[in-house]
Amino acid sequence: MGNVMSASFAPECTDLKKEYDSCFNEWYSEKFLKGKSVENECSKQWYAYTACVDTHLTRQGIKSALDEARKEAPFEDGGAIKDQE
Amino acid sequence: MRLFKNSYSFEYPWDQVTAANWKKYPNEVSTHVIAVDVLKRELIDNGQKLVSERLITVKQGVPKWIMMAMGGTNVSYVREVSVVDLANRSLTLRSCNMSYSNILKVYETVKYNPHPEDPVNKTLFEQEAQITAYGAFTKICNKMEEWSVQRFHDNALKGKKGFDSVLEVFDKHWVQREKYVDDLGNSIVGKVADTVEDIKTTAEEMLKETEMKSNSILTRHYDSIKNAFKRNENM
């Protein structure tokens, strides 16, 4: 692959992912890091990409393992493990 | 449960390191990482914090017959949640393997902060992994955990070297980008798109030319984990 941006786990989503990534990387360096943004501006690309990803997460049977991982280490807690002994 | 810890410094500013973090894959050395997907992303605290959840797809170079013996596929998944905190100048990444997690679970936490000794120019990298082996493997758990820690230790230095080379390339890109941005100030709006394309093309070429490696314990070590399983079957 000639592109430096990584592929999606679902080949069907790779093009949408690349469109999103290029928008995001630009936004990250030029706006977010400079404290110039209060919203993620790539929402159009984002919705197209994640709709594709969600479909394939279910189709490829990854969704249940993901749900379990999310329960253990919630997104809301920045991925920290919930019930650590 | 075992703990593995490691830290070192990168000779690049924190901002730059965090931006490079999103572009680490794919690269010519870490061919085991075949895909990276963003599953969820939120900008919170009035634009001060960016939280992202990623799915990292790893394909290991384990021989087919091992895969068949284990009844698995050769594709594994790692889930990572990261937080970029502008106010505290920190990037924290927490990852866990989703595949084979009933046998061996690795929780990895990586933190990037401006280096206390030189906050403007250097970044401090701290890595911690918590390794737990489970289940039917109880008897050999200790051995397996010990062995895993040793493997992580051996490979950590290679990883550091790898991300260094990514950063080096990214540094050139960064400097050049600033230059372009300055130029843009004097140019007309119609040139923006062309210039952005130029920057992207240049950056892509530079990245392609350079060997890049990953420094993630989890993604580097699926091979090791798999082999550990194989060894354990023979014990």
Kindly write down the DSSP assignment for every residue of B172-189, as one continuous string.
HHHHHHHHHHHHHHHS-G
- Identity of the residue numbered B178: E
Query: For the segment B210-232, what is each residue's pLDDT rounded down to a tens digit?
Result: 333 334 555 655 555 555 555 54
**CA pair distance B115, B123, nearest whole angstrom:** 5
Residue among A28, A39, A81 minimizing CB distance to B107: A81
Residue B6 has pLDDT above 90, yes or no: no
Residue B9: pLDDT band with limits 50, 70, 90: confident
Share of chain A above pLDDT 70, in %: 91
A71 contacts on B by Cβ (under 8 Å): none
Identify the residue with better confidence: B191 or A47: A47
To the nearest whole angstrom, how far is the Cα of A59 from the nearest Cα of chain B? 15
Looking at CA atoms only, how far is residue B157 from chain A in angstroms? 24
Q: Which residues of B fall within a CB distance of 8 Å from A49?
A: 38
pTM, two decimal places: 0.72
User: pLDDT (tens digit, 9 = 90+) per residue, B42-76?
Assistant: 999 999 999 999 998 887 655 455 455 555 566 88
pLDDT of B199 over the 60 cut: no
Instruction: Note if the bond before B26 is cis, omega within 30 degrees.
Output: yes
Identify the pLDDT of residue B148.
59
Residue A37: closest CA among chain B residues belongs to which residue?
A: B47
Domain definitions of chain A by residue range: 11-70
What CA–CA distance (Å, rounded) separates A12 from B227?
Answer: 32
- Please name the member of A26, A46, A65 whose beta carbon is closest to the beta carbon of B77: A65
Give the residue from chain B lying closest to A16, CA to CA: B37
d(CA B149, CA B3): 8
Let me know if A71 is exposed, middle or buried by CB neighbors in 10 A (0-12, 13-18, 19+): exposed
CA distance B100 to B126: 26
Least confident residue range of A75-84, B8-17, B95-104: B95-104
Q: For position A52, what pLDDT does the model report?
A: 97
DSSP H stretches of helix in B117-191: 138-186
Higher pLDDT pick, B68 / B85? B85
Interfacial B residues in 32-61 facing A (CB < 8 Å): 33-43, 46-48, 50-51, 53, 55, 57
Q: Nearest to residue A72, comparing CAs of B36, B95, B194, B164?
A: B95
Q: Is the pLDDT of residue B82 over 60?
A: yes
**Interface with A, mutate which of B81, B182, B207 (most A CBs under 10 A):** B81
What letters, b where the CB count within 10 A reaches 16 and e where it falls short, cover B4-25?
A: bebebebebbbbbbbbbbbbbb
Q: In a 10 Å sphere around its CB, with 0-12 CB exposed, 13-18 middle and 19+ buried, how is residue B75 labelled?
A: middle
**What confidence score (pLDDT) does residue B45 get?**
92
CA dist B166 and B21 (Å) reads 9
Residue B97: which pLDDT band, with cuts at 50, 70 and 90?
A: confident
- What's the rounded Cα separation, in Å, for the pair B235 and B233? 6
Nearest by CB: A37 against B47, B55, B83: B47
The segment with the largest mean pLDDT, out of B71-85, B130-144, B151-165, B178-192, is B71-85
Residue B151, pLDDT score: 59
Average pLDDT over residues B85-95: 95
- Farthest-apart Cα atoms in chain A, separation: 46
pLDDT of residue B171 exceeding 70:
no
ipTM of the complex: 0.93
- Neighbour-count burial for A16-29, b at 16+ CB within 10 Å, e otherwise: bbbbbbbbbbebbb
User: Which segments of chain A have a pLDDT < 70?
Assistant: 1-5, 83-85
**Of A66 and B142, the one with more pLDDT:** A66
Structure confidence at residue B187 (pLDDT): 28
Question: Which domains, ranges and CATH numbers included, belong to chain B?
Answer: 2-180 (3.30.530.20)
- Cβ within 8 Å of residue B176, ≥6 positions away: B199, B202, B203
Q: Cα separation of B228 and B226, whole Å?
A: 5
Rg (CA), chain B: 20
